[in-house]
Amino acid sequence: MTRSLAPLRFGVEADFAIGVEEELSLVDPATHALVHTGVDVLERMEVPEATGSAHPDTYSALVELASPVCASATEAVATLAALRGRLRAAGGTAIGAGIHPNAAFGDVEHVPARRYRKIASQLRGLVMRTPTCALHVHVGMPDPETAIVVSNGLRERLPLLQALAANSPFWHGQDSGLATARAQLFRGYPRAEIPRAFADFADYEETVAAVVEAGDLPDYTFLWWDIRPHPHLGTVEVRAMDSQSALSSVAGLAALIHALARVEAERGARAWAPREALMEASFTAARDGLDARLPHDGALRPAREVARAALEEARPFARETGAGAALEEVERILREGNGADRQRAAHASGGMPALLDLLARETATDYR
């Protein structure tokens, strides 16, 4: 390989530990318009050691909050709640959504750090669009081969996770007609896709090496796949979901992924779904959200039916980590709607001001 994946950190932490990262947009506290103050707010933000971390991202209007390594989704989200509180104490007002609902096209500033300068030089006009914000969940893997099996298996859950987490129906002040406009905006970047299934870790290594070399990329973290093994952290990272305003939704989604990773590890290798079929299902999920029909057991099924089948698989493992109650948040999403549904309801009742107020209030609400 021209650029090594070493060091491999699989098995360094406890098997199936979890970490959660969320990207949040910073807004004006009065108007809730996008503001480019992320670097300044982060400089004022105090994050004690072992309580998580807070970082800039490509865009100056974003911050990324990350939990420490945790045993359960509820523990991880409790640390995110504390980080959100520290962000507010540092003067930051944030909203959790896949994209800011009415930010103007081109209203962007980039963080002047080496990595982000590299991204901007590569992507050029693509990163002058509306900033996008995602929710990422890492699950620790005991060894490289388990990471491949779990990654291959969770690929097939990505359309469902997109439908549950869809939280960006509006762009530039207009309803996009999509449940998650962020997902389709992000598809415009290179390497922003669902990867194929890998035969083993060596197959993954060879593929990554070829892509890194072909793109003259600094390292494998520039492969922005919807899911990827992350050797330097020893995890599988799920990256397909919109950022969430409600921490209870973050907890439910993280608990579901955490448990399904265990399910996939126990099921082991099998015949994997083709990448092309998953990409098509991903678009359907992004467009229709909870009203999507998704592949399941050899047929197209309503997303809610697919979700309830996944919940039945996940519950035993969620109970083991004490995240059974968090998993019930997914049931609430199925009954009452996801973030896209709440955004559209707020807009219908009070226009864009009501929608932005909803996102700001939910993002500032503590996790209980």
pLDDT in tens, the chain (368 residues): 345 687 899 998 888 999 999 999 999 999 999 999 999 999 999 999 899 999 998 889 999 999 999 999 999 999 999 999 999 999 999 999 999 999 998 888 888 877 877 777 777 767 778 899 999 999 999 999 999 999 999 999 999 999 999 999 999 999 999 999 999 999 988 889 999 999 999 999 999 999 999 999 999 999 999 999 999 999 999 999 999 999 999 999 999 999 999 999 999 999 999 999 999 999 999 999 999 999 999 999 999 999 999 999 999 999 999 999 999 999 999 999 999 999 999 999 999 999 999 999 999 999 87
Q: Give the DSSP H or E segment for 253.
A: helix 247-267
**Per-residue b or e along 163-201, where b marks 16 or more CB atoms closer than 10 Å to that residue's CB:** bbbbbbbbbbeeebebbbbbbbbbeeeeebbbbbbbeeb
Does residue 132 form part of some domain? yes
Q: HEC string of 162-220?
A: HHHHCCECEECCEECCCCEHHHHHHCCCCCCCCCCCCCCHHHHHHHHHHHHHHHCCCCH
Cross-strand partners of 134: 242
**Per-residue b or e along 122-133, where b marks 16 or more CB atoms closer than 10 Å to that residue's CB:** eeeeebebbbbb
Q: Prior bond to 7 cis, omega within 30?
A: yes
Report the interhelical angle of 275-288 vs 158-165 (nearest 10°). Answer: 10
**CATH number where 219 lies:** 3.30.590.20
Does residue 44 form part of some domain? yes
pLDDT value, residue 4: 62
Amino acid sitting at position 322: G
Q: What is the pTM of this model?
A: 0.96
pLDDT value, residue 217: 92
Cα–Cα dist 110/128, whole Å? 9
Does residue 7 form part of some domain? no
What sign for the dihedral angle of Cα 221, 102, 180, 323?
positive
> Which residues have a Cβ under 8 Å from the Cβ of 289 and sit 6 or more positions away?
163, 166, 179, 180, 303, 338, 340, 341
Does residue 6 form part of some domain? no
Does residue 13 form part of some domain? no
Give SS3 for 107.
Answer: coil
Number of domains into which the chain is organized:
1
Does residue 11 form part of some domain? no
pLDDT value, residue 1: 37
pLDDT value, residue 2: 41
C-alpha 109 chain-centroid distance: 22
pLDDT value, residue 160: 98
Does residue 4 form part of some domain? no
Domain span including residue 292: 18-364
pLDDT value, residue 107: 87
Q: Are 227 and 198 in contact (CB under 8 A)?
A: no
Q: Are 264 and 150 in contact (CB under 8 A)?
A: yes
pLDDT value, residue 3: 52
Q: Give the DSSP H or E segment for 363.
A: helix 339-364
Does residue 3 form part of some domain? no
Cα–Cα dist 99/89, whole Å? 23
What sign for the dihedral angle of Cα 90, 91, 95, 100?
negative
Q: Are 249 and 163 in contact (CB under 8 A)?
A: no
Q: Are 257 and 313 in contact (CB under 8 A)?
A: no
